[in-house]
């Protein structure tokens, strides 16, 4: 397939399989989404969703969270991995939100990415899913799919993000990000992938295997 054909095929296939993708992380507002996304680093959404109810029962606002002790936060979020750093970041960013942003999650990339533990991908998720701002969050999983489907030759997630933004309409970015997440989990995993059974890889027929050393290829 030519590039324009691959783009159309991917878009149509994702729309058919996941027409109305929901945000996989349970949350009630921008702050709880921000904390959940931070916890999801190197952790499954399923595990995060099992962990956050206990945390949010104690504190689901920046002001409440900053009054918890870091060890208390760490104990609760331990199942999510990297708990010492994540607990410290959650506590610190909550303090910053109260002191610098009137307890509200800022609605711009610069202020979000200035928060402890919040990188571009996390900020993109919050901007797109909490505030409806067009963004295309790319993690290693979406990076892998874009490479398999020959939609990007990017050597890192930022290069892949730029390619995907060029290929697809801005109005579809937020939806496509979620669709690719669900598709990857269901049909195109990092490990145990069966290209002949994948609705997209079986038709595109290129870059079936992720290039060794191209980037992290974690399940």
Residue 46 reports pLDDT greater than 50: yes
Distance CA 62, CA 89 (A): 12
pLDDT tens digits for range 77-102: 999 999 999 999 999 999 999 999 99
What pLDDT shows up at residue 206? 55
What pLDDT shows up at residue 216? 35
Task: Provide the CA 2 distance to its chain's centre, in angstroms.
Answer: 28
- Residue ranges of the domains in the chain? 3-21+136-204, 30-129
Domain 3-21+136-204 has CATH 1.10.1670.10: yes
To the nearest whole number, what is the mean pLDDT of the chain? 93
Distance CA 171, CA 48 (A): 28
Active-site option among 86, 121, 163, 175: 121
What pLDDT shows up at residue 30? 98
Residue carrying the six token digits 């009054």: 67
Residue 211 reports pLDDT greater than 90: no
Predicted TM-score of the model (pTM): 0.90
Residue 156 reports pLDDT greater than 60: yes
Active-site option among 139, 163, 172, 175: 139
Per-residue burial over 159-192, b = 16 or more CB atoms within 10 Å of its CB, e = otherwise: ebbebbbebbeeeebbbbbbbbbebbeebbeeee
139 is catalytic: yes
Task: Provide the CA 69 distance to its chain's centre, in angstroms.
Answer: 27
What pLDDT shows up at residue 215? 39
CATH topology of domain 30-129: Endonuclease III; domain 1 (1.10.340)
121 is catalytic: yes
Distance CA 18, CA 45 (A): 18
Give 219's pLDDT tier (boundaries 50, 70, 90).
very low
| Mean pLDDT on 105-134 | 97
* Count of all residues that appear for the chain in the document: 219
């Amino acid at each position: 397939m030519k590039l324009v054909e691959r783009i159309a095929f991917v878009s149509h296939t994702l729309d058919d399989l996941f027409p109305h993708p929901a945000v996989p992380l349970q949350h009630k507002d921008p702050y709880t989404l921000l904390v959940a996304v931070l916890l999801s680093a190197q952790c499954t959404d399923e595990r995060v969703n099992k962990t956050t109810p206990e945390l949010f029962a104690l504190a689901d606002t920046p002001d409440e969270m900053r009054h918890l002790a870091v060890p208390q936060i760490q104990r609760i979020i331990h199942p999510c991995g990297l708990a010492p750093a994540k607990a410290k970041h959650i506590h610190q960013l909550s303090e910053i939100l109260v002191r610098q942003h009137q307890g509200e999650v800022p609605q711009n990339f610069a202020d979000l990415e200035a928060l402890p533990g919040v990188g571009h991908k996390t900020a993109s998720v919050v901007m797109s899913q909490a505030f409806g701002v067009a963004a295309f969050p790319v993690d290693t999983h979406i990076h892998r799919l874009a490479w398999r489907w020959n939609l990007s030759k990017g050597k890192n997630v930022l290069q892949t993000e730029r390619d995907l933004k060029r290929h697809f309409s801005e109005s579809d970015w937020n939806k496509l990000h979620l669709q690719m997440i669900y598709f990857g989990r269901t049909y195109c995993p990092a490990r145990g992938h069966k290209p002949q059974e994948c609705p997209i890889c079986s038709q595109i027929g290129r870059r079936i295997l992720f290039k060794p050393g191209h980037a992290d290829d974690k399940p």
